[in-house]
Amino acid sequence: MRIRTYGTSGPVVVVLHGGPGAPGYMAPVARGLAESFRVLEPWQRGSGGEPLTVARHVADLNKLVESRCGGARPAVVGSSWGAMLALAYAAAHPGRAGPLVLIGCGTFDPVARHRMQAIRDERMDDGLRRHMERLPQEFPDPDERLKAMGHLILPLYSYELVTTDQEIEACDARANLETWEDMVRLQEEGVYPAAFAAIDGPVLMLHGAVDPHPGRLIRASLEPHLPQLEYREWQRCGHYPWLEKAVRDEFFAVLRGWLTRQFAEGGRSADERLD
C-alpha cells in the first residue's frame, strides 16, 4: 500500500479513508493530528487479479500495524467505510488495535441503509437527478465516473463547507463495488456487527446530524456489541466534519483531546516511535 506519514512525535494514529476506493481525502485529518501524533495514512488496496474482500483489507491493515508500529497499539481513525474497516480490524485483532474513532460511520443493517437512501432521495432535485443520469455518457470510465458522482452529490452530504476540495486523487470503482458487496454479505450472514463484541478498547463515534448516514440508527445497531461506545453529534455538520465551517475547529479539538486522554489512560508513552 502507498502510505503517507505525518508528524514527528507522539503515539501512532492510523487514518483510514472511505469510499471504498477513494484514497487521499483523509489528508486534512492527518495534518490536523500531526502536531500531537505520528500519523499513517495508508491508501487501501485497489482492485486487481482477485476480488477484494473485507478480510483482505483487514490483513493489509494488520501488516501495516505490525511493520510500522512496532509493539505499539495505534489509534485507528476511520471515515465512512474506513470506520467500518477500523471496527473489522479491531474485532479480528483486538490485541493490536488501540482506541477507535468512527467518523460518519457506514451502515450495518438494511433499516439504516434504507433510511440513508430515503434522505438522499428527499434532498435530490430534478436537475441533480438528470445530471446523475448523464454521468455514464459524460464519464465512460467507471473510475472517473465514481469521482464525478462523489463531487456531484457532495452537497447532499454537507451543511456548509469551507471547501469542496476533498483531496481525492483517484477513485477505484471496482474496489468500491467488490469491497462493499463483501461487507453487505458479511452483514447478511450475521458476522457484523456481532463480531465487534470482541473489541475491548475505547470507541468514539463522531457524527453530523446532516449526514445522510443516520447516526443514531447506526449507533443503535452497534451499542449491543459495543457497550463502551461514546457518541458525539453536531447539528450543523454533514459527513465530513473537518470540512464543515461551523464545527471543524471543535471537531479537531474533540478528536485530539479524546485521543490524548485515551493514550494517557492506557499508559502509552508519547515517545513511542514508528519503526
Would you give per-residue pLDDT tens digits along the chain (275 residues)? 899 999 999 999 999 999 999 999 999 999 999 999 999 999 999 999 899 999 999 999 999 999 998 888 999 999 999 999 999 999 999 999 999 999 999 999 999 999 999 999 999 999 999 999 999 999 999 999 999 999 999 999 999 999 999 999 899 999 999 999 999 999 999 999 999 999 999 999 999 999 999 999 999 999 999 999 999 999 999 999 999 999 999 999 999 999 999 999 983 333 343 33
Query: Residue 67: helix, strand or coil by DSSP?
Result: helix
According to DSSP, the residues that pair with 30 across neighbouring strands are none
- Span 18-53, pLDDT tens digits: 999 999 999 999 999 999 999 999 999 999 989 999
**Cell numbers describing residue 248:** 471543524
Grid coordinates 457518541 are at which residue? Answer: 231
Continuous H helices in 93-226: 110-123, 126-138, 142-153, 173-188, 215-222
Instruction: Count CA atoms within 13 Å of residue 74 on its CB side.
Output: 28
| Dist CA 192 CA 267 (whole Å) | 30
**Cell numbers describing residue 258:** 479524546
Q: How far is CA 242 from the centre of its chain?
A: 13
Extended strands (E) in 17-158: 38-43, 75-79, 100-103
Cβ neighbours, 10 Å, residue 271: 8
**CB of 41 closer than 8 Å to CB of 31:** no
Terminal C-alpha separation, the chain: 17
Cβ neighbours, 10 Å, residue 45: 18
